[in-house]
Chain A
Amino acid sequence: MAARIDFASLSLMDALDLAVLIEDEAKERYEEFAAQMDQHRTPDAAKFFRLMAVNEAKHGQELADRRSQLFGGVTPTVTRAMVFEVEAPDYDQARAFMSPRQAMKAALASEVKAHAFFVAALPSLKDAKVRALFEELRDEEVQHQALVKAELAKLPPDSGLSDDDFVDEPTAQ
């Protein structure tokens, strides 16, 4: 649970490590979703989730590079256990037969969630550099949202029909 982070005492190195972990988690979740979509013959959504995974990875790599320039190989003190689904979509955001639109909406919701995380953390931050980093990350989330929204806008208009009216019922075993 994110609550385990003590924001007041967060150093810049910790904050960078934390940011890398957040991107990392999101990347893994998107990869997992893409695999779920593959397994359930929903290739368009799989493609989109894979794209998201690549984006998160790219962003994570940038942050990791910054971290190693500044702090080299110093052992990190924050752990994966401290972050949970900051930017990764909740597990139940995946759905059978997701359309690209639904997939994008799930991603958008996660970007909104991540934005809210950084906004909520800001008041408790003491270190000015950390604060600057968090502001930067917060603003990036806004950019990400804009990117996903742009992708959404490219889609043909929604038919407004629910898939449940067409697909087969689940299979009993």
Chain B
Amino acid sequence: MRKDLVFGMAGSGGDGIVSAGDSLLQAASAEGYHGVMTKSFGSQIRGGESSCRVRISTDPVLNPGGNLDVAVALNWEDFLKFGAELPVAGTTVVIYEAATGVPENQIPLVGVTPLQVIAVPIAAMAKETAGTERAKNTVVLGLIAGWFGIGGEAVMKGISKKLAKKSQELVEANQKAFDAGVAFAKSHPLKADMTVVPSSSKGAVKLLTDGNDMCAAAALFAGCQFFGGYPITPSTEIMQFFTNHVWKYGGAVLQAEDEIAGIGAAVGASFAGKKSMTATSGPGLSLKSEMMGLASIAELPLVIVDVQRGGPSTGLPTKTEQSDLFAAAFSAHGDVIRPVLAPTSVADMFRTTVEAFNIAEYYQTPVIILSDQEIASRKETLDPIDTSTFKIINRLVPAGADLQDYKRFKQTENHISPISHPGMLGGTYLASGIEHVESGAPTNSGSVHQRMNDKRIKKLDPLKERKDLFEITGNPDAPLALVAWGSVAGVCREALQMAQAEGLDVKLMVPYLLYPVAEQTYRDFFASVQKGLVVEQSHLAQTFKVLRMHLDLPKGLQSLARSGANPFLPGEIVAALHHLLSELQRSHEGKLQPQE
């Protein structure tokens, strides 16, 4: 029996394999399991290759998993297109469409001998039972229920609920296809028992959502009342969520004519006193940079979500990457610091988004949330979040004495000045992108410019003291270390557990605050470190370079970086740690031996 299973399935869009993954995850969550699902696609709008990865576990899931336990290939051509995204190993059970005509001992996977390979006449079974080959995905769900014990009842319950409105006939067709899958599995038992242990939390309430919807919902919770944006994959669902719901809270959303207008409208809404937000992906972030500069100098709160995809330019619109850190931290000209936060999962997207609004409002600054395609589109089961434990911070508005001779950009001890908004009596001021004195009146004085830059940069210093924006796990004095953020953090969390189980003395730092760089927090963390890895999906190793720019890194700290769409596997990170350890031991030995 297993506590954790990773499924990877691929086919063409017409095979409905992604819908099958959706049904599986929903069913698993109804049965009380934890789960994560990610999707990946080819470039056709319809009928290209599509795949999903579903991980189901009795324990909370840290990432979409490494090597597949179960691979499902509806045809090999599509499956192979996903390469490293769907890694098959010696522990994998491979299930594939018999109609591909490929013999079981000749499947086109080089260099691996899977645990077991089973050809199933999936299309034929679908045709025979449901009367249409399209029901292949339902047969697959039946096979999964039969072999792995997930979704026996819940899958069909979900499907019936979805289809009952359409026709009873359709429900019955699906039921037959599903039953055929179950029956096939029962009559062809696996060599090893791979059924999943029943979940102890069956019946407990679980949430099921993806990173984009979570982000939008969190924004509404945080009090966001305006969204201005422009559609761009993989961020569009955030705007869509707003178009459905923001009205209910007295807010508004604008699908603008382009990203510049989208962020512009959001800047305007913030000037008008409303919490506001925009969301985009790489190409849109590039367009927004001038407006981000404006929000910084005008000291307007604003949250900008950048759902990273492969870049530069149009790049890989449907694949994940972590290559926008430089752009998030440094784009837009001038001396400016813009806080950059990154969630690591759907679950902590809630907290990260609320935090982003709190920081934006408190410090009166644009804040960037660096999400990524994987977090944005992956579905996770979550335990309910107790929203009452979250504090909501609103901008400091002038009152009483402040409004006598109101100075919008007044120098204060913590460099934060009360901010009025149109409609507030006595609070009128000129907001501008030009340098200004305390009242807001334009100036070209060098000394004022120096002072105002000082104010705008220093007001953010306290952020660097926020230890709660960093997660440190493992032995605090460990000589080996990992640093990772965003969706890669989940892989490293699992790698940490595996490495510890193999006896390695290692720790992990996951920063939620990427910029400004909290130098002291890193120094403290690195104090014990002799060897380590900064793991990231960026060919340029942007994180490693940003850290190096701000502090002296331990000599043994190395970069493990590569381009997006080439996911890291926990196992390879553990292997890299072993390698580092042996280097470390060799260098110690080296010191003991006399030089020749």
Contact = CB atoms under 8 A, between A and B. Distances in A.
Contacts of B132: 99, 159, 161, 163, 166
B514 to A, nearest CB: 27
B47 A41 contact: yes
Contact of B46 (A40, A160, A161): A40
A62 B465 CA distance: 86
Interface in B1-53: 12-19, 41-48, 50
Interface residues of B, number: 35
Contact of B131 (A97, A159, A169, A170): A159
B132 to A, nearest CB: 4
A160 B42 contact: no
Contacts of B48: 40, 171
B233 interface: yes
Nearest to A156: B131
B75 to A, nearest CB: 8
B135 A173 contact: no
A167 B16 contact: yes
A171 B14 contact: no
A47 to B, nearest CB: 15
Contacts of A99: 132
Interface stretch (B102-110, B166-174, B450-458): B166-174
A69 interface: no
Contacts of A159: 130-132, 173
Given A160-B169, A173-B43, A168 B17 contact: yes
B170 A171 contact: no
B570 interface: no
A75 interface: no
A55 interface: no
B45 A171 contact: yes
Contact of B14 (A97, A160, A161): A97
A170 B45 contact: yes
B160 interface: no
B14 A173 contact: no
B47 A161 contact: no
A166 B318 contact: no
A40 B45 CA distance: 10
B50 A40 contact: no
B42 A166 contact: no
A92 interface: no
Contacts of B19: 166-169
Contacts of A161: 130-132, 134-135, 169-170, 173
A172 B281 CA distance: 13
Interface string B395-427: 000000000000000000000000000000000
Contacts of A173: 43, 45, 233, 317-318
B448 interface: no
A166 B123 CA distance: 13
A40 B44 contact: yes
Interface residues of A, number: 21
A39 B14 CA distance: 12
A155 to B, nearest CB: 12
Contacts of B47: 39-42, 96-97
Contacts of A41: 12-14, 47
A168 B50 contact: yes
A39 B13 CA distance: 12
A166 B46 contact: no
A166 B20 CA distance: 9
A87 B17 CA distance: 37
Nearest to A36: B47
B152 interface: no
Nearest to B314: A173
Interface string B131-143: 1101111100000
Nearest to A163: B134
B233 A166 contact: no
B41 A171 contact: yes
Contacts of A172: 233-234, 236, 317-318
B318 A96 contact: no
Contact of A170 (B13, B130, B173): B13
Contacts of B166: 165
Interface string B229-270: 000011010000000000000000000000000000000000
B241 to A, nearest CB: 15
A118 B47 CA distance: 37
Contacts of A160: 131, 169
A168 B43 contact: no
Contacts of A166: 16, 19, 132, 134-138
Contacts of B46: 40, 96-97, 170-171
Given A39-B47, A173-B233, 16 more contacts: A40-B44, A40-B46, A40-B47, A41-B12, A42-B14, A96-B14, A159-B132, A160-B131, A166-B19, A168-B17, A168-B50, A171-B43, A171-B45, A173-B43, A173-B317, A173-B318
Interface of B: 12-19, 41-48, 50, 130-132, 134-138, 163, 166, 169-170, 173, 233-234, 236, 317-318
6 contacts: A160-B169, A168-B15, A168-B50, A171-B50, A172-B317, A173-B317
Report, nearest first, the 7 A-B pairs whose CB atoms are least far apart: A40-B47, A159-B131, A166-B134, A96-B46, A41-B12, A171-B41, A172-B233
